[in-house]
């Protein structure tokens, strides 16, 4: 999707020095409010974060009638169902008072990169903390820090009334997806909307449908990174021998290429970050004010 404005969104990343990041929310007529501080590890193994408990979803609350209507329109989990929910979220984000969209090309849809690791889902409920750490590549970090999705607010208890309502919708097969936003500086998608839906799906022993918002990769980069898969496909096709299985193998190679090209075109581009006013000193002061006592490990 193409977005023409604004130049600077209300929900945005700001950066003090390349390692010190902050997610701020700014509504018209009000000063920006930090909702998440983050500091990358000097070893590039992960990021320390601290939530301020001031996050507000840019999307309006979902009504149960919409969930059931969309499920009647198309089979939940299918392409048409995801497209309908993506269109719903796009409209909401375009109209949001403080959303992440800014001028440029965007993608909103299911993950095609294979980002989510099955065994990491169970870490979310057990290791959700307002002040924590996300490991990027392991390196002996605690197993629970290997999480593929970062909530922007404290997750509700599985027995909370709103979560119980969503758990019923999950059992009925009409639970709406979770909407996430890929932030490259954090190297993880954050939950834009659907924290209680996330808890509901996990509490029922399932997995949520997740639609990820990201900046779209430019056409030139898509063409560049598509060259290697295409050359490999052509080499494999040239090596295929004739015979009764030739057409079946050729069809399999075509499907393989299509999947590789989809991953290239669906990969997220870098997230834009604006300068944090006042630089490092102001960032340190703001972090001390909003998350007192937080001491991210500057050496690890």
Q: For residue 147, what pLDDT is reported?
A: 93
Reading the block at residue 120, the tokens are: 């990491």
pLDDT digits (tens, 9 = 90+) for 89-101: 999 999 999 999 9
- Per-residue buried b or exposed e for 26-39, using 16+ beta carbons within 10 Å of the residue's own CB: beeeeebbbbbbbb
Residue 48, CA distances (Å) to 61, 130, 166 in order: 30, 11, 31
d(C-alpha 47, C-alpha 216), whole Å: 24
235 or 242, which is more confident: 235
Burial of 1 (C-beta count, 10 Å sphere; 0-12/13-18/19+): middle
Cα angle: 39, vertex 288, 20; to 5 degrees: 20
pLDDT digits (tens, 9 = 90+) for 49-75: 999 999 999 999 998 889 889 988 888
pLDDT digits (tens, 9 = 90+) for 116-160: 999 999 999 999 999 999 999 877 788 899 999 999 999 999 999
Q: For residue 238, what pLDDT is reported?
A: 83
For residue 286, pLDDT over 70 is answered with yes
For residue 297, pLDDT over 70 is answered with no
Average pLDDT over residues 195-216: 96
Q: For residue 281, what pLDDT is reported?
A: 95
Average pLDDT over residues 2-27: 94
87 or 247, which is more confident: 87
For residue 242, pLDDT over 80 is answered with no
């Amino acid at each position: 999707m193409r977005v023409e404005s604004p130049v600077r969104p209300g929900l945005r990343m700001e950066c003090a020095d390349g390692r010190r990041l902050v997610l701020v929310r700014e509504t018209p007529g009000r000063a920006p409010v930090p909702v998440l501080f983050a500091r990358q590890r000097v070893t590039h193994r992960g990021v320390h974060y601290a939530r301020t408990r001031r996050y507000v979803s840019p999307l309006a609350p979902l009504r149960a009638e919409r969930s059931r209507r969309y499920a009647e329109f198309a089979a939940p989990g299918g392409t048409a169902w995801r497209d309908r929910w993506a269109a719903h979220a796009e409209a909401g984000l375009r109209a949001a008072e403080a959303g992440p969209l800014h001028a440029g090309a965007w993608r909103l849809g299911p993950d095609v990169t294979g980002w989510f690791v099955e065994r990491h889902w169970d870490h979310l409920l057990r290791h959700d903390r307002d002040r924590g750490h996300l490991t990027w590549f392991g390196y002996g970090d605690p197993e629970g820090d290997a999480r593929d999705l970062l909530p922007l607010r404290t997750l509700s208890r599985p027995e909370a009334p709103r979560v119980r309502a969503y758990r019923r919708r999950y059992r009925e097969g009409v639970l709406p997806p979770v909407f996430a936003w890929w932030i490259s500086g954090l190297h993880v998608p954050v939950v834009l909307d659907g924290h209680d839906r996330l808890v509901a799906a996990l509490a029922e022993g399932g997995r949520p449908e997740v639609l990820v918002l990201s900046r779209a990769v430019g056409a030139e980069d898509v063409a560049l990174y598509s060259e290697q898969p295409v050359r490999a496909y052509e080499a494999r096709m040239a090596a295929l021998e004739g015979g009764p299985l030739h057409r079946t193998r050729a069809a399999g190679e075509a499907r393989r290429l299509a999947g590789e090209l989809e991953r290239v075109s669906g990969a997220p581009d870098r997230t834009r970050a604006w300068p944090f006013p006042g630089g490092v000193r102001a960032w340190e002061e703001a972090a001390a004010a909003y998350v007192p006592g937080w001491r991210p490990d500057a050496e690890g």
